[in-house]
Amino acid sequence: MLLGLVAMTQTGLLGQYAQTFLCTMGIYMILAASLNLVNGYMGEFSCGHAGFMAVGAYTASIVGVILFVGDENFGPALLPMSLAPLAFPLILATGFAAAALVGLLVAVPSFKTRGDYLAVITLAAGYIVKSALENIEIVGGPRGFMGMKKVVLAIEESLTVPWMLVWIFIGVVLTVWLLRRFVYSTYGKGVMAIHQDEVAAEIMSVNTNHMKLVAFMLSSGLAGLAGGLYAYLIGFVNPASFTILRSTECLVMVYLGGMGSLTGSILAAGIFTILLEFLKPLEQLKWVAIPMLLIVLMQFRPEGLMGNRELSDIFPKLKRFYRFK
């Protein structure tokens, strides 16, 4: 599939517009699938996903600048620009790690609180990240940061393939692969035990604090990965891209697809991106149209498109083509 995509771009079948569109879709897929781990599988309500995405985006950008560009704030470049294409996964990994660490911010209060209270804490965490970024002059404050644009341009020059598309594709596959393996192991099912009855989970020897920590860190880390990809796709990051609206988009995708269904999240992210694109003529009004859609969905299919089923539950024959379990 990846080869097919690359071939299509090379032959001109997929124009720049279509590529950007697919990239955006991929980033939304990562965001939706990762949030589903906390909101769907663990049954908590996290609404600060954009905050983790921001941490990943800024970290990846800054690391890129420190390594390859250098400016008055970060000192001279440490490595020649020609290494940038090779170091790109490393840059993304730092985004993942930083966001996972910030995930601790939310995971620790989750030991004692849950439900509505935890939702408020995640909301606050999202705001803390955004406001902090607005006040850090070194990354441009509210104006945003675009130092990594040079890295983007340099990689674009040295590579003929649509590298962003390739990396986002790998990111989506990696996300689904990690999450699937996690939630299908007896270890990861501890997260679902917490969802269904936390008291029983604790008494039946599940270390609930440990599981929450792992789930929050994995989820926020993957959001950070999406953030890093986003930063290098756009070539510019600013705090305004990571507001509550972005977190809400993530929530909408999770609920649209179905809590506890990775296929649902992926599908919903696809549908959601298409909707965003088609509703563009409505401009601001699309933020009336999309929530309306959510209300309609909650009325007529509250469990989401897929409920908690996976594609392989509906078409068991698909299992022949892959073995994740």
Candidates 11, 16, 160, 186; binder of another protein (CB under 8 A) is: 186
CB-wise, 14 or 214, nearer to another protein? 214
Rounded CA-CA distance 202/200 in Å is 5
Tokens of 297: 């969905």
# residues contacting another protein (CB under 8 A): 27
Report, in Å, the least distance between residue 283 CB and another protein.
Answer: 42
Q: Examine residue 187 and tell whether it contacts another protein (CB under 8 A).
A: yes
- Residue 112, number of CB atoms within 10 A of its CB: 9
Q: Which stretch binds another protein (CB under 8 A): 62-70, 114-122, 179-187, 268-276?
A: 179-187
Candidates 181, 285, 301, 322; binder of another protein (CB under 8 A) is: 181
Report, in Å, the least distance between residue 323 CB and another protein.
Answer: 10
The answer for residues whose C-beta is within 8 angstroms of residue 241's C-beta and 6 or more apart is 54, 57, 230
Per-residue b/e over 93-106, b at no fewer than 16 CB within 10 Å? bbbbbbbbbbbebb
Tokens of 71: 């400016």
Q: Examine residue 299 and tell whether it contacts another protein (CB under 8 A).
A: no
Q: Examine residue 308 and tell whether it contacts another protein (CB under 8 A).
A: yes
Q: Examine residue 160 and tell whether it contacts another protein (CB under 8 A).
A: no
- Least Cα distance to 183 among 168, 174, 193 occurs for 193
Candidates 138, 204, 282, 288; binder of another protein (CB under 8 A) is: 204
Q: Examine residue 33 and tell whether it contacts another protein (CB under 8 A).
A: no
Q: At what angle do helices 208-234 and 163-184 cross, to 10 degrees?
A: 170
Phi then psi for residue 205, to 5 deg, are 75, 10
Q: Which stretch binds another protein (CB under 8 A): 91-99, 113-121, 186-194, 292-300?
A: 186-194
Q: Examine residue 134 and tell whether it contacts another protein (CB under 8 A).
A: no
The answer for residues whose C-beta is within 8 angstroms of residue 299's C-beta and 6 or more apart is none
Q: Examine residue 188 and tell whether it contacts another protein (CB under 8 A).
A: yes
Residue 154, CA distances (Å) to 1, 150, 159, 168, 179 in order? 27, 6, 9, 18, 33
CB-wise, 105 or 206, nearer to another protein? 206
Rounded CA-CA distance 42/210 in Å is 13
Q: Examine residue 3 and tell whether it contacts another protein (CB under 8 A).
A: no
Provide the residue type at 185 as one letter: S
Q: Examine residue 104 and tell whether it contacts another protein (CB under 8 A).
A: no
Report, in Å, the least distance between residue 208 CB and another protein.
Answer: 7
Rounded CA-CA distance 140/239 in Å is 10
CB-wise, 23 or 194, nearer to another protein? 194
In the complex, the residues that contact another protein under the rule CB under 8 A are: 178, 181-182, 185-190, 192-193, 195-197, 199-209, 214, 308
